[in-house]
Structure 1
Amino acid sequence: MKLPTALIGAWDQFVESCEAGYGDILDEFTFDRSVRDRIAVALQDEGLREFEQMRWVEEQIRAIDGRYRKLLLDQTVFEGRPWWKATFPRYAGPQMAAELLATYGLTVAVREPPSAWP
């Protein structure tokens, strides 16, 4: 299991890339978003909850979650899934935007990723 700080960093980086307009394909988006699943497991781990540092972890995750929630479409695509997996961001790079339209009939705003995309 990754350290909570590594999970925070990965989630923050993912959300930042979504804010810019996720610049990769839908499969990579799904994989990158899965870090939030690992975070959910860590937040529910009774052994970790005993540590005072987990309050800080929870605060960081709440802040990043808030940024991600603001990006999401109002439309639920997948009923019964956790909120972070129920829909998609309202912005995407050209390739993912095309995939969302072709696969789910979703129209999102296209944002060109920065030229120095990681």
Structure 2
Amino acid sequence: MNQRTANFQEAFSSFIEASGRWRDTTPEALLGRWSKFVDDCERGYPHDVEDYFNDLTSRDSLERALNSVELQVFPEMSQLRARVKGVDSRFRALLIPDAFPGVPEEFWWARGMVNSGRKRFVEDVRREYRLNLIEIE
């Protein structure tokens, strides 16, 4: 890791920590958390609905970083943006769009709901939000 990359990592982590996130504050860790969440959703989300919304916070944190003025000075942001976009496209393909129309459109990942999951998740979503998802065994 060169000095410029180290500076980016440090600046990114400081920004994320200042927003209240206490773990997965490096670019790689945060992107990894988002990617793992999407992997889980592709296989059928295996946890409860509370965990689902908690896991979505990784994308919220990435969005804040991608839009932060102070991090735009780092060339590494364009690479991170491209990698996030790749994971995002996988997630978008899984969504029931506009499941939560009260959420602003720019937060599309929270406005939609994955269309399938494991039994516990599917039952939680049906009970809490009256959305019918595909149950994956």
Tell me the TM-score normalised to structure 1 length: 0.89
List 4+ stretches of structure 1 deviating above 3 A.
none
Q: Which residue of 2 aligns with 1:87?
A: 112
Q: In the alignment, which of 75, 82, 86 is matched to residue 63 of structure 1?
A: 86
Tell me the TM-score normalised to structure 2 length: 0.77
* Post-superposition CA distance 1:29-72 (Å, at most 9, x none): 11011111100111011121111111110000000000000000
Q: Which residue of 2 aligns with 1:53?
A: 76
Q: Relative contact order (C-alpha < 8 Å, sep 6+): which is higher? A: 1
Secondary structure of 2:97's counterpart equals coil
Question: How many Å separate the matches in 2 of 1:75 and 1:54?
Answer: 29
- Alpha-carbon deviation of 1:75? 4.3
Structure 1: runs of 5 or more not aligned: 113-118
- Alpha-carbon deviation of 1:80? 3.1
Q: In the alignment, which of 96, 99, 110 is matched to residue 135 of structure 2?
A: 110
Q: Which residue of 2 aligns with 1:30?
A: 53
Which residue identity lines up with residue 96 of structure 2 in the other structure?
L
Question: How many Å separate the matches in 2 of 1:65 and 1:28?
Answer: 19
Which residue identity lines up with residue 36 of structure 1 in the other structure?
R
For the aligned residue pairs, the C-alpha RMSD in angstroms reads 1.2
Q: How does 1:1-12 map to 2 (within 5 A)?
A: 1=17, 2-12=25-35
Residues 96 and 113, structure 2, Cα contact 8 Å, conserved in 1: yes
